[in-house]
């Protein structure tokens, strides 16, 4: 049978298998319907075996599939970070190359300007004037001296949101701004365009838009608060626009930087010897050349300092870069400020700005958050050494807030609320404790940053309470579950006292609204249940039927604090109390215990008033029954229940409340005094106080 099955499997698995010929041959060789049924059964058995083997293989490799998917996700995250690092290093290397080549470019430009200064400027301005005569509403464009045309051309503007074509425009790129003009449908003479917008080159950024046919040859101008997207005629013109825009923006920035340096570092003229006066105060003035000679900047490490800083930043050797800066500051500490020192400072300050930007990016929430608070220590410590402790504090706390929020968001909501709250508290308070310890280590010498950490802790606690309340209170959990969850949160909150951070009051103030609503809601449930039982009250003794049930009731009453319950039990399994009174006692004592777990001073009156309202419902019902009942035996039984409430239950409630709160409940004492039990006159149907 096995050999036949193997042969059949090989036949069906062969590459040249033809179903029609197979069925035709099978029909010819079979003796009748019975042979066909047997062969069908063999094929069905083979199909079942194949399906079973496939399932086993899938289940066998299922865990490997999951692990592979996780590894792919982690690798994707790491590759994203690596891409950012490579892009950052590429930009740094480009800036180094540009700085090395800028000297040659400046000399060439100066030679060209010296050869053709007036002709170049006049031709460019004349061309710009000719083109602007075709634009309506831009007469004041030429009022700015030195403005000339760099590039112009036709473009098509598209809507940024839905990529719908808006209008045809003509763009004029000048050495300091970009003019956008729209085409006029009704032309008048030489006027072809209408003024639309004028943007300063520093007010926008150029972004290349990837081609997605039919949308291609596009680039975007990013501005605040909105952007615009344009399409060129072809890819060549688009490339020209991007290159010329980028080059023009760089030229303007370089020109303004040189102007600023000339203003900040003016040339100090040397007074001729003939102009020297005999004023004694003039002798105290220092000659800049004399101070320049006093500061020796010819040392090899100082000459190579800017390049060494660039290398350290490119290699992410942040500690080495800051060490070099500290060494320079120490060397120039007591030295006079000369022109060469100022020039060196300008170069170094640019590297400090680049280093600060890299360190800020290291602390941004976009970076991987899996390393915990210790992963930020390197960048934070270097920012503090650079004198950026406030920025380091702000970025560190933002990074940790994003990490905590991500951890809470990734926490899976389990079926059991208490299990979810245990996990939530463990994740949040552990992260908070680790963050506090790392903060204390990193900012030990910056006591002014501690107030920022306290503010951050309060905001993080609010984020935790939002997740906590959404799972505990918004889902309408029972009061006992809510009390256990709040108890767990309070216990975790006490762990922070190890580092001197007490957020218990913050937790209570954020939860007070939800806890108050939960207490009042559960109070209403108890009152409604008590009223429903009162409406069906027959004032009969309880018969628990079995001794086990009676023993269980005694244990329940003993756990509620009512130790004298034995005096209310009768022969066999009888209890000399009404079922309504017993059920009310258990429900009210449970409410009191859960309320004490949730208690803090802001909830004192809420819990007290809730207990008072619940007790009044039972007491008023007993009083009403006494006044309405006319049978002496039932009146005596009702009076016994009233005595149980007044002499046994209410004192236990007062005592337990005082133990849990720490002070007596005057309102409950007054309530007990005002509802003292009545005595029944056997000869009358009226009860007397």
Closest by Cα among 124, 126, 138 to 193: 138
Coil/strand/helix, residue 621: helix
Give domain status of residue 105, yes or no: no
Residue 240 shares a structural domain with residue 359: no
Last residue of a domain, one of 50, 76, 102: 76
Query: Has residue 155 got a pLDDT over 90?
Result: yes
Q: Which residue has the tokens 């039932």?
A: 634
Please count the structural domains in the chain.
4
Query: Band of the pLDDT at 169, cuts 50, 70, 90?
Result: very high
Direct distance between the N- and C-terminal alpha carbons of the chain, in angstroms, rounded to an integer: 99
CA–CA separation, 684 and 635 (whole Å)? 11
CATH of the domain at 140: 2.30.29.30
Residue 543 shares a structural domain with residue 655: yes
Say what the pLDDT of residue 414 is. Answer: 67
Residue 550 shares a structural domain with residue 656: yes
Say what the pLDDT of residue 23 is. Answer: 82
Mean pLDDT, the chain, whole residue set: 79
Query: Band of the pLDDT at 104, cuts 50, 70, 90?
Result: low
Say what the pLDDT of residue 436 is. Answer: 85
Residue 149 shares a structural domain with residue 199: yes
H helices then E strands: how many in the chain?
Answer: 22, 12
> 664 is written with which tokens?
């007596």
Give the strand order in the sheet containing 135-136.
Answer: 135-136, 191-200, 177-188, 165-174, 149-158, 227-231, 218-222, 205-209
Last residue of a domain, one of 261, 290, 325: 261
> 472 is written with which tokens?
């505990």
CA–CA separation, 174 and 281 (whole Å)? 52
More confident site: 654 or 75:
654
Beta-carbon contacts of residue 264 (< 8 Å; ≥ 6 apart): 342
Q: Report phi then psi at 663, rounded to 5.
A: -150, 150
Give domain status of residue 148, yes or no: yes
Say what the pLDDT of residue 156 is. Answer: 92
Coil/strand/helix, residue 77: helix
Say what the pLDDT of residue 108 is. Answer: 53
Q: Which residue has the tokens 């390049």?
A: 307
Q: What is the DSSP letter of 648?
A: I
Last residue of a domain, one of 47, 76, 105: 76
Q: What's the average model confidence in pLDDT over 366-386?
A: 74
Residue 187 shares a structural domain with residue 303: no
Give domain status of residue 505, yes or no: no
CA 279 remoteness from chain centre: 68
Residue 161 shares a structural domain with residue 231: yes
Q: How many residues does the chain have?
A: 689
Structure confidence by residue, pLDDT tens digits, 500-553:
778 888 888 888 888 888 888 888 888 999 888 888 888 888 888 888 888 888
Residue 561 shares a structural domain with residue 663: yes
CA–CA separation, 50 and 42 (whole Å)? 12
Q: What's the average model confidence in pLDDT over 57-65?
A: 71
Give domain status of residue 473, yes or no: no
Query: How many CB atoms sit inside 10 A of residue 551's CB?
Result: 12
Residue 71 shares a structural domain with residue 130: no
Residue 69 structural domain:
1-76
Query: How many CB atoms sit inside 10 A of residue 391's CB?
Result: 17
Strand partners, 182: 169, 194
More confident site: 647 or 275:
647
Residue 212 shares a structural domain with residue 310: no
Coil/strand/helix, residue 369: coil
Say what the pLDDT of residue 223 is. Answer: 78
Query: How many CB atoms sit inside 10 A of residue 362's CB?
Result: 19
Lowest mean pLDDT among 42-56, 182-196, 261-275: 261-275
The answer to whether residues 452 and 393 touch, using CB atoms and an 8 Å cutoff, is yes
Residue 47 shares a structural domain with residue 159: no
CATH of the domain at 368: 1.20.58.1210
Q: Residue 598: CA atoms inside 13 Å, Cβ hemisphere, count?
A: 30
């Amino acid at each position: 049978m096995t050999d036949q099955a193997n042969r059949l499997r090989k036949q069906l698995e062969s590459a040249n298998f033809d179903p029609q010929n197979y069925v035709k041959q099978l029909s010819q060789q079979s003796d009748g319907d019975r042979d066909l049924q047997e062969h069908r059964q063999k094929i069905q058995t083979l199909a079942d075996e194949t399906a079973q083997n496939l399932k086993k293989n899938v289940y066998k490799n299922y865990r490997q599939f999951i692990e592979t998917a996780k590894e792919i996700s982690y690798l994707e995250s790491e590759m994203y970070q690596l891409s950012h690092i490579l892009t950052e290093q590429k930009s740094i290397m480009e800036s180094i190359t540009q700085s090395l080549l800028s000297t040659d470019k400046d000399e060439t430009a100066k030679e060209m300007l010296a050869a053709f200064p007036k002709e170049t400027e006049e031709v460019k301005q004349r061309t710009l004037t000719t083109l602007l005569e075709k634009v309506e509403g831009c007469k004041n464009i030429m009022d700015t001296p030195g403005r000339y045309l760099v590039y112009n051309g036709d473009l098509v503007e598209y809507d940024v949101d839905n990529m719908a074509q808006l209008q045809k425009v003509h763009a004029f790129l000048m050495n300091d701004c970009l003019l956008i003009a729209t085409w006029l449908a009704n032309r008048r003479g030489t006027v072809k365009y209408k003024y639309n917008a004028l943007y300063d080159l520093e007010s926008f950024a150029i972004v290349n838009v990837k081609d997605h046919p039919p949308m291609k040859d596009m680039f975007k101008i990013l501005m605040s608060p909105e952007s615009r997207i344009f399409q060129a005629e072809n890819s060549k013109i688009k490339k020209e626009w991007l290159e010329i825009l980028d080059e023009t923006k760089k030229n303007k920035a370089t020109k303004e930087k040189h102007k600023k340096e000339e203003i900040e570092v003016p040339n100090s003229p040397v007074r001729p010897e003939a102009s020297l006066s005999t004023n004694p105060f003039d002798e105290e003035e220092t000659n800049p050349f004399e101070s320049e000679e006093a500061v020796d900047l010819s040392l090899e490490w100082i000459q190579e300092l800017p390049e060494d800083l660039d290398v350290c930043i490119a290699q992410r050797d942040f500690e080495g870069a800051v060490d070099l800066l500290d060494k320079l500051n120490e060397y120039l500490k007591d030295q006079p400020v000369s022109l060469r020192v100022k020039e060196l400072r300008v170069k170094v300050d640019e590297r400090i700005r680049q280093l600060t930007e890299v360190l800020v990016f290291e602390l941004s929430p976009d970076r991987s958050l899996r390393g915990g608070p210790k992963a930020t220590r390197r960048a934070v410590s270097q920012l503090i050494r650079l004198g950026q402790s406030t920025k380091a504090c702000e970025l560190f706390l933002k990074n940790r807030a994003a990490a905590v929020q991500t951890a809470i968001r990734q926490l899976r909501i389990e079926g059991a609320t208490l299990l979810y709250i245990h996990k939530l508290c463990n994740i949040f308070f552990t992260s908070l404790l680790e963050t506090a310890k790392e903060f204390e280590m990193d900012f030990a010498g910056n006591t002014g940053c501690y107030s920022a950490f306290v503010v951050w802790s309060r905001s993080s606690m609010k984020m935790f309470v939002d997740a906590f309340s959404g799972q505990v209170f918004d889902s309408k959990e029972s009061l006992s579950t809510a009390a256990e969850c709040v108890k767990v949160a309070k216990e975790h909150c006490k762990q922070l006292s190890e580092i001197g951070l007490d957020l218990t009051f913050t937790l209570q103030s954020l939860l007070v609204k939800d806890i108050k609503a939960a207490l009042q809601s559960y109070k209403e449930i108890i009152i409604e249940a008590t009223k429903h039982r009162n409406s069906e009250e027959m004032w009969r003794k309880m018969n628990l039927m079995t001794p086990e049930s009676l023993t269980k009731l005694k244990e329940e009453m003993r756990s509620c604090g009512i130790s004298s319950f034995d005096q209310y039990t009768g022969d066999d399994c009888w209890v000399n109390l009404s079922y309504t009174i017993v059920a009310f006692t258990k429900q009210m004592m449970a409410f009191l215990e859960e309320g004490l777990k949730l208690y803090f001073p802001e909830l004192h009156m809420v819990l007290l008033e809730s207990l008072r309202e619940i007790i009044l419902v039972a007491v008023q019902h007993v009083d009403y029954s006494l006044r309405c009942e006319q049978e002496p035996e039932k009146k005596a039984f009702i009076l016994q229940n009233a005595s149980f409430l007044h002499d046994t239950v209410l004192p236990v409630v007062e005592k337990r409340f005082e133990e849990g709160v720490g002070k007596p409940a005057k309102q409950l004492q007054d309530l007990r005094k005002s509802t003292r039990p009545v005595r029944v006159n056997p000869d009358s149907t009226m009860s007397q106080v």
